[in-house]
Amino acid sequence: MSGETPVLETPVLETRSLRKSFGALTVASDIDFRLSHGARHALIGPNGAGKTSFVNLVTGVLQASGGAILLEGADITQLAQSDRVKRGIARTFQITALFRGLTVLENVTLAVSERMGMAGDLHRPAGNRRAIIEESFQLLDDLGLADDALRPLKELAYGRQRLVEIAVALGLKPKVLLLDEPAAGVPSGESGIIIETIERLPSSLALLIIEHDMDLVFRLAKRITVLVQGAVLVEGTPKEIASDARVREVYLGERSHA
């Protein structure tokens, strides 16, 4: 919305007039959105604003009713979810969606072997794929999860499961990572580790963080888009958003004080 920043390069991810409706219910109405390379971008909005629907549209869980989604300038609107992942879009889930009965390491190897195109292999034992196992282990080590590698995921504390959630997505080596409420459900004492982990992610990776927790948003995001009733209300720097009257009115609930 704010036109001060001139756009010189193609954004890594872009949506043009993205629309989605279920009958009379519109969850996305003409969303124009640009995510630049290496972005630290947050998507905020009140409950039911259509944030998760936006993630589902971008990743291909939902098919758009209209408009276009572009990844590095290429139209991916019609691609299946798995093809979008191969092109470089990864996501995490608001409610941890992992392989609970498997070990932590195996959770990550599934993603890594899928990325390497080896997951369809019927012949060679998975255990012989040293490259996959070593890379997965390294990833866990980087996130401080090495000691948990061989434990079943369900035995981990929820905060650590949230880290595995990120590790699985990183195993896909994405260009764009959509983090859907990465600290949701984590006791406030533990959310620090998650924020630090996100801060340490490589700057080449473009991040879109969907979040309720304003502390987290203002700590991590360099840019914020506010979504209300499926439409972009305003976009700008954290400072601009914090001082925007409309945002205060709709999102921060200032209306009740007026």
String of DSSP letters for 210-254? E-S-HHHHHHH-SEEEEEETTEEEEEE-HHHHHH-HHHHHHTS-G
Which residue in the block uniquely carries the two structure tokens 């600290």? 183
Contacts of 167 (CB under 8 A, 6+ apart): 107, 108, 139, 140, 143, 145
Interface with another protein includes 114 (CB under 8 A)? yes
Interface with another protein includes 62 (CB under 8 A)? no
Q: Which range of residues in 10-18, 167-175, 220-228, 243-251 is near another protein by CB under 8 A? A: 167-175
Q: Which of 4, 6, 128, 204 binds another protein (CB under 8 A)?
A: 128
Q: Which of 2, 17, 78, 121 binds another protein (CB under 8 A)?
A: 121
Interface with another protein includes 207 (CB under 8 A)? no
Q: Which of 59, 161, 191, 225 binds another protein (CB under 8 A)?
A: 59
**Cα separation of 173 and 89, whole Å?**
9
Q: Phi first, then psi: give them for residue 160, nearest 5 degrees.
A: -75, -30
The conformational region for residue 153 under phi > 0 = left, psi -120 to 50 = alpha, else beta, is alpha
By beta-carbon proximity to another protein, the closer residue of 30 and 114 is 114
By beta-carbon proximity to another protein, the closer residue of 143 and 172 is 172
**Cα separation of 111 and 256, whole Å?**
46
Q: What is the CA radius of gyration of the chain?
A: 19
Judged by DSSP in three states, 204 sits in coil
Which residue in the block uniquely carries the two structure tokens 């070990």? 103
Q: Which range of residues in 41-49, 79-87, 200-208, 215-223 is near another protein by CB under 8 A? A: 79-87
Q: Which range of residues in 26-34, 63-71, 124-132, 181-189 is near another protein by CB under 8 A? A: 124-132
Interface with another protein includes 99 (CB under 8 A)? yes
DSSP state of 152: B
Q: Which of 3, 8, 82, 188 binds another protein (CB under 8 A)?
A: 82
Interface with another protein includes 150 (CB under 8 A)? yes
Interface with another protein includes 137 (CB under 8 A)? yes
| In contact, 53 and 20? CB cutoff 8 Å | yes
Q: What residues numbered 171-200 form the site for another protein, per CB under 8 A?
A: 171-172
Q: How far is it between the farthest Cα atoms of the chain?
A: 68
Residues near another protein, by CB under 8 A:
59, 61, 80-83, 85-86, 90-91, 93, 97-103, 105-106, 109-111, 113-115, 118-130, 132-134, 137, 141, 146, 149-150, 168, 171-172
